[in-house]
């Protein structure tokens, strides 16, 4: 059955692959709809999708496991983000002290972080992790994450 994205509820199952306007699969057939996935569909301006009847939400153990996994990923990102800020702070203070800029070292340190955590949920929440005192150090790391996200997004449509 076809359901408008605005009417979707957690528990529906995607009946046919959902594709972006560029023809790339956003959600494969058989994927269970969650609140986050509904947001993804809205972000891609999808109006309606074909779904199977709602599955039972009576498996609380599975839902709890999914929740713990998402919390673990969130905490990992926050920890890694704070570590990246501290690393950038040390590097920047070295530059202020007269050290040369070593782009190879900077790339080695930050590119893996940008690749691992360039997801829309992390990008949308960057402002939550900033502090007024360290804004000067948060800004370049946040810009790097946003640039990595945009780059990955653009190249995924080629």
pTM: 0.51
* 79 vs 60: CA distance, rounded Å: 28
For 133, the 3-state DSSP assignment is coil
The tokens 């074909």 sit on which residue? 50
Burial 68-96 (b: 16+ CB within 10 A, else e): eeeeeeeeebeeebeebbebbeebeeeee
pLDDT in tens, the chain (158 residues): 888 888 888 888 888 888 888 777 888 888 888 888 888 888 888 898 999 866 555 566 666 666 666 666 666 777 888 888 888 899 999 998 999 988 888 888 787 777 666 556 667 777 777 778 888 888 988 888 888 888 777 776 55
The residues, any chain, with a CB within 8 Å of residue 95's CB and separated by 6 or more, are 101
- Residue 97 has what pLDDT? 92
- Residue 73 has what pLDDT? 64
- Residue 98 has what pLDDT? 92
């Amino acid at each position: 059955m076809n359901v408008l994205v605005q009417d979707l509820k957690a528990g529906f199952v995607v009946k046919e692959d959902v594709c972006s306007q560029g023809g790339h699969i956003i959600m494969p057939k058989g994927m269970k709809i969650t609140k986050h996935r509904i947001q993804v569909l809205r972000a891609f301006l999808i109006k309606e999708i074909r779904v199977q009847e709602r599955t039972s939400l009576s498996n609380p153990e599975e839902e709890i496991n999914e929740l713990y996994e998402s919390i673990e990923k969130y905490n990992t990102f926050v920890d890694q983000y704070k570590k990246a800020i501290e690393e950038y702070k040390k590097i920047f203070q070295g530059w202020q002290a007269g050290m040369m800029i070593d782009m190879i070292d900077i790339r080695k340190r930050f590119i893996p972080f940008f690749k691992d955590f360039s997801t829309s949920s992390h990008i949308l929440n960057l402002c939550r992790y900033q502090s007024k005192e360290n804004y000067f150090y948060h800004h370049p790391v946040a810009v790097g994450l946003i640039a990595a996200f945009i780059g990955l997004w653009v190249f995924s449509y080629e």
